[in-house]
Structure 1
Amino acid sequence: MFIVSNLLFLMIITIILLFYSYVVGYPFARKVNKYGSFELSFPLGIAILGVTALWINNLFNIGTFQAAIIFLFPLVLTFWINKPSIECYKKGFSDKPIIILPLILSFIAVSGVFIKINGSDVGISTPLFDHIKIALVNSIVRDGFPIINPFCIDPSAGELFHYYYLFYLLSANIVVFFHCSGLNADIILAFISAFISIFTCFYLLSELFSKSINKKKGQYLFCFFLFSGSIVPFVDLLTGYELFKILSNVHPLESWIVQAAWVPQHLLAASCSILALFLIGARNLNNKIILFSIIILVGAGFSFSVWVGGLTFAVTSLMIFVEQIVGKKNKKNVLI
């Protein structure tokens, strides 16, 4: 009975946060692009929330009042800048993509993080080991800033935590605001990260297909491919089993479903970075809302994961920089 009620509690908070990200992100997404604005609203809304949390918590530490401000400020910002109406939000849902499949897929991916109880036995799945950083979430809630490393051998040493921490900071604010456990907050944000990664690709598909029927077919096909694995073993077979040795020397290549369960912080950073790169390359940067969206996405991506939103983004954005110079684009765009 406890497990069922806890699952219901998690579902309610997750739906509230997804709806929140839509309310915050959709008015901005509409001004970025009229096509695919519904899809773009979710990642943009979470990015705005994340950057707000980073700013407020670093300035004013952790607490119930700070958490309330963090959730309130993006709402005030979107209504102040965009002045959306109820009709505006209804219009967003009128051309909504398939939303049930991403919800199901996200639940399947995150089910790997749940602790399984069977009578007196307790079982955990392999992806949970990276979520042991739930200790960091609890450390932030308990001790605030500066963040104390919960994994140091001597707790009295007060060693500071040197790691990208926005994912865990958002989880900590969810704990404070909704009065749930660190594990529950981690599961909620992992679910949202998986969902947003799908909607990032849905947005790109909306750019690819002008007709709604083709876009919907593309979305169904994309969801099907998420269950697939890496193509590397097939290519490896044709190359005499040498390719996989090279590619898996440092780290194996996992599918989306494994990454979504194991490292949601990287997945969320990748979503923000991909969208930022796309908007830099495909949109008019003289538009202040587009420029604001890019800055927010870059900031959130970097803070969620320095590896993905920092190093990988730097290398990829350099390629776009070269393309813009070769293409003789607007000098201001090249500079940005």
Structure 2
Amino acid sequence: MFSLATAALAATIGLVLWSLAGYRLARRLGFGRAFALPVAPALGWAAQNVLALALAEMIGFSALAILASLALILVSTLPTAATEGAEDDELPPWWIAPAAGLLALVPALAVVPKHTADGVILAAAIFDHSKIALIDEMLRTGVPPVNPFYGPVGQPAEISYYYLWHFGAAQIARLAGATGWEADAAASWFTAFSTALLMAGLALRLGGNRLAPALALALCATGSLRPLLGWLAGAGLDQWLAPATGLAGWLFQTSWSPHHVAAAGSLVIAALLGVRLARRPDAPTCLVLALVMAAAFQSSFWVGGVVLALVALAFAPLLVCAAPARGRVRFVLAAAVAGLLALAFAAPLLLAQYHAALGRGGGSPVALRAYEVLGPLLTGQFGRVLDLPAYWLLLLPVEFPLVVIAGALTLLCRIGAPDEAPRRLEVRALALVAAVSFATSWLLVSTVGDNNDLGWRAVLPGLMVLTAAAAAGLAGLVARRARLALVAALALFAASLPAGAIILAGNAGGDASLSAAAFARAPAMWAAVRRAVPPQDRIASNPALFADMTPWPVNISWALLADRRSCFAGKELAIAFAPLAPAAREAISRQFLAVFDGRAGPDDVHALAERYDCRAVLVTARDGAWTRDPFAVSPDYRLVETEPDAWRLYRATAPASSPTVRP
């Protein structure tokens, strides 16, 4: 079902592949070893993935495309006079990388199955890793991938999601011979490792001493004050403060949505590259900046699209004014070229998301509205107007207590510090990233789905910057022996540790489920399906199968184990992956649920075969249709295989009416 050894092999391959590419790029761009080492994994991931995706679209997704993209990077970074930078900072301690690797196991555990005496259980975060089906699709059919979640007859089956992170997972799966599930765990570990190491290196770069990288990793393990406040205030907390959402710290967000975290790391790196481009507008910096910006967008529309665009607008006057007077025109041209190249790399995903937006309807995916902070006790009296100041004065200190307070104070002090000009400009640029990041979450909301994904994910670049800045500032306090400030910082750190411990316990222990024993038998069932159903065919299964194993009802066994396309993977996944208006999505969901509950008529079964291209149907003993089976009497399907008291597999009797339309 899932091999830890194979997942570890995939993670090792990713570590070597992306760290090697990133280190050579960082040295070629003039970064000294002190920063080239910690930035290498995240930088290499961004650049190599974008190049490999472009090559795979031209020559096919294979080991050749992967190794060719690496070769392009290595050849282009052969030692030159510019390779060795002038920077000569102190190297971070040697043990920082292993420590980051250990910390990264916490998010990776969210993906790993837990074998117990009762069967197999999963962590809550596995819900957001249902996108493993997309990794398997790329391994089967290449890129651009066919939509594995929904594909009606005669309609384009393009995937509108930002899938670069999942393509990266597919790359290491291809090289390691891993499944999509194993590769997702490996890629989750790598994303956590690379971004934690980036923050550690940035802490040293922001003026911290050798203690700063260690403090950055320690801050990554913290979380919200809500557990402590809930213990103190009890149920009354929800009256004052809106319930917890996906706006949370690095540890939580890396466990649930590592692709957004990877995009945030790319945005932070892009900010540093923008500063270097302003001071030295050369071709290598321009090209790498384009690749990194494209990686940010192709991994997260919210972080790499909305936030990156706003950061670029804010950066324009800062960097133009900072560029040498005689080189400003050259810088503006280089920045424009970098932007156009990034758009060119990201164009296929941009077009797919545009088409999906047209299919969904509903207008703009982003709206101007303050983040909802306060509970009913206050909003009932004052409305939502107090949410505006409460975001800064209440929500951010509650969710990121030590990071926000210490990080903001450190940046304010560093901006005016009498440091050398290049580093001072970097500090200002990073402070601007943080300001735009949190302001976006404050005032803009996403309208595509049921959740405010933009508000939740927009904080990530700012959170990374403030984590590094807080670590640098706290390291300075230790060096100066500022006891009072250190006592306050230690108190906030201790208060934010329970949230991190809760995340660790949830990821490692999983959530008990009545379906644990049945899920343990699911791999054999899906293996039989794969033997009988060709890779290009779509299968119908109950969207609510194993629904109690995830926080929201999805057929997690299909997403993790099927390695086959679904004709409709359920309402929850259709929100992000199907270009359907809400009313149509609800109607299709009701129809599929009725079929598998045994409440459907012949017309509904016929619709599965004719309209939704369901070439196979899996009915299990857990479905209502097991005893009221509409497929057994339907002329559209015939029984091809069964396991007594477990499952039945049907195949469509008519030939496919039309092949799946590729993007």
When normalised by structure 1's length, the TM-score is 0.82
Post-superposition Cα deviations, 1:29-57, rounded to whole Å, max 9, x if no partner, equal 12331141111211121112211222012
Distance 1:316 1:230, change over 3 A: farther
Distance 1:287 1:39, change over 3 A: farther
Whether the 8 Å contact between 1:139 and 1:148 is mirrored in structure 2 is: yes
Aligned to 1:23: 20
Q: Could you tell me which of 149, 152, 155 is aligned with 1:151? A: 149
Aligned AA (1:71): L
Report matched runs for 1:204-243 at 5 Å: 204-209=202-207, 214-230=208-224
Q: How far 1:322 moved relative to its partner?
A: 2.7
Quote the Cα distance in structure 1 between the aligned partners of 2:228 and 2:323. 40
Quote the Cα distance in structure 2 between the aligned partners of 1:278 and 1:242. 42
Aligned to 1:36: 35
Aligned to 1:292: 287
Report matched runs for 1:113-124 at 5 Å: 113-124=111-122
% identical equivalent positions = 23
Q: Could you tell me which of 92, 105, 130 is aligned with 2:103? A: 105
Quote the Cα distance in structure 2 between the aligned partners of 1:56 and 1:232. 46
Whether the 8 Å contact between 1:47 and 1:297 is mirrored in structure 2 is: yes
Aligned AA (1:67): A
Report the structure number with the largest CA radius of gyration.
Answer: 2
Aligned AA (1:8): A
Post-superposition Cα deviations, 1:310-331, rounded to whole Å, max 9, x if no partner, equal 1110111211113234557534
Aligned to 2:138: 140
Aligned to 1:280: 274
Q: How far 1:152 moved relative to its partner?
A: 1.4
Aligned to 1:59: 58
Structure 1 residue matching 2:146: 3-state secondary structure: coil
Quote the Cα distance in structure 2 between the aligned partners of 1:18 and 1:54. 18
Instruction: Tell whether 2:66 aligns with 1:70.
Output: yes
Report matched runs for 1:190-205 at 5 Å: 190-205=188-203
Aligned to 2:385: none
Q: How far 1:124 moved relative to its partner?
A: 0.7
Quote the Cα distance in structure 2 between the aligned partners of 1:232 and 1:312. 27
Distance 1:233 1:101, change over 3 A: same
- The Cα RMSD (Å) is 3.2
Aligned AA (2:256): W
Whether the 8 Å contact between 2:222 and 2:249 is mirrored in structure 1 is: yes
Quote the Cα distance in structure 1 between the aligned partners of 2:191 and 2:145. 23
Structure 2 residue matching 1:122: 3-state secondary structure: strand
Whether the 8 Å contact between 1:281 and 1:320 is mirrored in structure 2 is: no
Q: Could you tell me which of 240, 259, 268 is aligned with 1:265? A: 259
Aligned AA (1:303): Q
Post-superposition Cα deviations, 1:284-329, rounded to whole Å, max 9, x if no partner, equal 2423332232122111111111211111101112111132345575
Whether the 8 Å contact between 2:260 and 2:300 is mirrored in structure 1 is: yes
> Which has the larger helix fraction?
1
Whether the 8 Å contact between 1:25 and 1:40 is mirrored in structure 2 is: yes
Whether the 8 Å contact between 1:301 and 1:309 is mirrored in structure 2 is: yes
Q: How far 1:12 moved relative to its partner?
A: 3.0
Q: Could you tell me which of 314, 321, 327 is aligned with 1:319? A: 314
Whether the 8 Å contact between 1:48 and 1:74 is mirrored in structure 2 is: no
Q: How far 1:99 moved relative to its partner?
A: 1.1
Distance 1:191 1:228, change over 3 A: same
Whether the 8 Å contact between 1:39 and 1:200 is mirrored in structure 2 is: yes
Aligned AA (2:20): V
Quote the Cα distance in structure 2 between the aligned partners of 1:270 and 1:56. 24
Task: Give the number of equivalent residue pairs.
Answer: 314
282-291 or 192-201: bigger deviation: 282-291
Whether the 8 Å contact between 1:53 and 1:169 is mirrored in structure 2 is: no
Aligned AA (2:14): L
Structure 1 residue matching 2:147: 3-state secondary structure: coil
Q: Could you tell me which of 56, 78, 81 is aligned with 2:77? A: 81
Post-superposition Cα deviations, 1:81-136, rounded to whole Å, max 9, x if no partner, equal 3249xxx9xxx9x9454112110110112101111111341111111101101111
Aligned to 2:481: none
Aligned to 2:174: 176
Quote the Cα distance in structure 2 between the aligned partners of 1:303 and 1:12. 25
Q: How far 1:67 moved relative to its partner?
A: 2.5
Name structure 1 gaps, 5 residues minimum.
Answer: none
Aligned AA (2:57): N
Distance 1:127 1:270, change over 3 A: same
Structure 1 residue matching 2:120: 3-state secondary structure: strand
Name structure 2 gaps, 5 residues minimum.
Answer: 336-663
Aligned AA (2:173): V
Aligned to 1:125: 123
Q: How far 1:282 moved relative to its partner?
A: 5.0
129-138 or 112-121: bigger deviation: 112-121
Q: How far 1:156 moved relative to its partner?
A: 7.9
When normalised by structure 2's length, the TM-score is 0.43
Structure 1 residue matching 2:215: 3-state secondary structure: helix
Distance 1:295 1:244, change over 3 A: farther
41-50 or 257-266: bigger deviation: 41-50
Aligned AA (1:50): N
253-262 or 69-78: bigger deviation: 69-78
Structure 1 residue matching 2:273: 3-state secondary structure: helix
Aligned to 2:577: none
Structure 1 residue matching 2:104: 3-state secondary structure: helix
Quote the Cα distance in structure 2 between the aligned partners of 1:23 and 1:9. 21
Quote the Cα distance in structure 1 between the aligned partners of 2:226 and 2:280. 37
Q: How far 1:189 moved relative to its partner?
A: 0.8
